[in-house]
Structure 1
Amino acid sequence: MEEIMHELRQIRREIDEQKIAIDRNGEKVTEKVTQNINCILEDKFKILNENYEHIREKCENQEKRLYFLEKQARKNNIVFFGIKEMETSYSNLESLIVNFIKEHFSQELDRRDIQEVRRIGKKGERPRPIIVTFCTLGTKINLFKNRSALKNTGYYITEDFPQNILEKRKELQEQARIERVKGNVVRIKYDKLIINEKKKTTGNNKRMLSTSPENKTTKGAETNTQANKKNKSQTQTRRTSSLSEGILKPGMLNYLINRNTNNSADPQQINNANI
C-alpha cells in the first residue's frame, strides 16, 4: 500500500512539473506570438505613416499651387465700392465702369481693356461691390496708383484678395495700429506686415555735427601721435646706431680702419701707387 502511495505521489509530482513546464512554454509561445504581431503591426504602421506623410506633402503642394493660381487669377482685379446698381445687363455694367473710370480717374478705357466685370454678394440696401478684371496688369496698376482721386467722393477701391488673406489682413490691422502708436511707418503688403522703424531725430545729427571739430582734433592728434611715434622710432633707431658707434674713441677707430686697409691692400697695387 505504501508503495502504491509513493508511486501516486511521484506521478502527481511529475504531473505538476509537466504542468509548470507547459505553462512556461505557453508563456514563451504567447510572448513570441505577441512579438510577431507587434512587429507586423509596426511594419504596417510604418507603411501607413509613410503613406500619410506622402499624402500630406501632396496636399501641401496642392494647397500651394491653388494659392498661387488664385493669387494669379486675382492679380488683375480691382474691387470698386459705392457704385449704385443702375445696370440692367452685363453690357450696361461694363459701360458703367468705363464711364466711372473716365470721370474719376481721367483715363480713357475701352471695353476691350476689361476682361470681366461682376457684382459680388447678396442684394441689400447698400450697393454691392464690383470686381473688375482688366486685360493687362499695367492698367490695374495705373488705376490703383491713382486711387487717391476717389478721396472724399464716397467711392473707394481695393485689391481683390482671397477670403483667408482678408482674415489675415484683419488680424494684422491691430498689430499695425500698435506699431503706428510707437511712431513706426507700417504698411500691409498682401498678407505680411512691413515695419520701418522710426528714424533718429535731427537732434542726434546736431550732436554729431557739434562733435565733428573734436573729431577733427582727435584725428589731428592721432596723426601727430603717429608722426611722433614714427619720428620716435626713427630717433630710437638713430640713437641705437650712435650708441654702438660711440663705444670706440675716434682716434682708435681711425687707427683700426687704416690698419685694416693697409693689411688688406695688394702689394702690387701699393707698388703701382708708389710709382
Structure 2
Amino acid sequence: MEEIMKALKNIQKELNAQKIEIQKSGEKVTEQVILNISNKLEEKFTVLEEKHQILKEKTEQQEKRIQIMEKQARQRNIIFFGIEEGEASYHNLENNILQFINEIFSLQMDCRDIQEIKRVGKKGERPRPIIVTFCTLGSKINILKQKRSLKDTQYHLSEDYPKYILEKRKELQAEANKEREKGNKVTIKYDKLVILKSNNKRTLEASPESVPNTQPQTGTSTTRASKKNKIKQSNPSISRSNSVTEGVIKPSILSYLVNNNINTPRNQINDTTDNLNS
C-alpha cells in the first residue's frame, strides 16, 4: 500500500512539473505572439506616418499656393465704405464710384480703369461696402496715396485682405499698441509687424567691392609684378615715333614715296630743292 502511495505522489509531482512547464511555455508563446503583433503594428504605423507626413507636406504646399493666388486675386482691390446705396444696375454703380473717385481724389478715371465692381454683405440700414477691382496696380496706388482726403468724412477705404490675414492683423494690432506705448513707430504691412525704433536710424552698409582695401596682402604684390613682367616679356612693346628714321620703314611706304616722286614733275622737285638750299 505504501508503494502505491509513493507512486501516486511521484505521479502527482510529475504532473505538477509538467503543468508548470506548460504554463511557462504558454507564457512564452503569448509573449512571442504579442511581440510579433506589436512589430507588425509598428511597421504599419510607420508606413501610415510616412504617408501622413507626405500628405501634410502636400496640403501645406497647396495652402501656400492658394494663399498666393488669393493674394494676387485681391492685389488690385480696394473696399470703399459709406457710399450711399441707391443704384438700380451695375452701370449706375460704376458711374457712382467713378464720380466719387474723380471728385474726392481729383483723378481722371473712366470705365476702362475698372475691371469689376460689386457690393458685399446683406442689405440693411447702412450702405454695403463696395469692392472695386482696378485694371492696374498703379490706379490702386494712386488712390491709396490720397487716402487722407477722406479724413473727417463718412467715407473710408481699406485694402482687400483674406479672412486669415484680417485675423492675424487683429492679433498684431495689440502688439503694435504696446510698441507705440514704448515710443516706437510701428506699421503693419500685410501680415507682418514692422517696428521702427526712435533711436535707431537706417544706414546703408557699403559692399565689399566698394570698400578700398587698405591692408597690404602678403604675396599679392610680388605675384602681380611677376605676372606683369611675364606679359611684357611675352609681348614686347615696339617703340613708336613720328620720325621715319627711328622706326622701320615698310616696303609699302617706300613704294608710295617712290611713286610720288616719279609722278611729280621735275619743276616741283627743283623748286623744293631750291627752297631747301636757300
Name the TM-score, length of structure 2 as normaliser: 0.69
Give the corresponding residue for 2:10.
10
Give the corresponding residue for 1:155.
155
Alignment of 1:140-219 (within 5 A): 140-199=140-199
Give the corresponding residue for 2:28.
28
Task: Give CA deviations for 1:109-153 in whole Å, capped at 9, x if unaligned.
Answer: 121211111011111111111000011111111111111122223
CA distance in structure 1 between the partners assigned to 2:100 and 2:15 by the alignment: 105
1:51, distance to aligned residue in structure 2 (A)? 1.5
1:63, distance to aligned residue in structure 2 (A)? 1.3
CA distance in structure 2 between the partners assigned to 1:180 and 1:30 by the alignment: 68
Letter in 2 for 1:5: M
Task: Give CA deviations for 1:218-259 in whole Å, capped at 9, x if unaligned.
Answer: xxxxxxxxxxxxxxxxxxxxxxxxxxxxxxxxxxxxxxxxxx
CA distance in structure 1 between the partners assigned to 2:52 and 2:167 by the alignment: 29
1:4, distance to aligned residue in structure 2 (A)? 1.8
Letter in 2 for 1:128: R
Alignment of 1:1-275 (within 5 A): 1-199=1-199
CA distance in structure 2 between the partners assigned to 1:154 and 1:185 by the alignment: 27
1:178, distance to aligned residue in structure 2 (A)? 2.1
Please report the RMSD computed on the Cα atoms of aligned residues, expressed in angstroms.
1.3
What SS class does the counterpart of residue 199 from structure 1 fall into?
coil
CA distance in structure 2 between the partners assigned to 1:186 and 1:118 by the alignment: 33
1:83, distance to aligned residue in structure 2 (A)? 0.4
Between Structure 1 and Structure 2, how many residues are aligned? Answer: 200
CA distance in structure 2 between the partners assigned to 1:179 and 1:12 by the alignment: 88
Structure with more helix by fraction? 1
CA distance in structure 2 between the partners assigned to 1:46 and 1:170 by the alignment: 40
CA distance in structure 1 between the partners assigned to 2:9 and 2:172 by the alignment: 88
What runs of 5+ residues in structure 1 fail to find an aligned partner?
A: 201-275
CA distance in structure 2 between the partners assigned to 1:167 and 1:13 by the alignment: 79
Name the TM-score, length of structure 1 as normaliser: 0.70
CA distance in structure 2 between the partners assigned to 1:199 and 1:154 by the alignment: 37
User: Matched residues, percent identical?
Assistant: 58
1:168, distance to aligned residue in structure 2 (A)? 1.6
Runs of 4+ in 1 over 6 A off after TM superposition: none
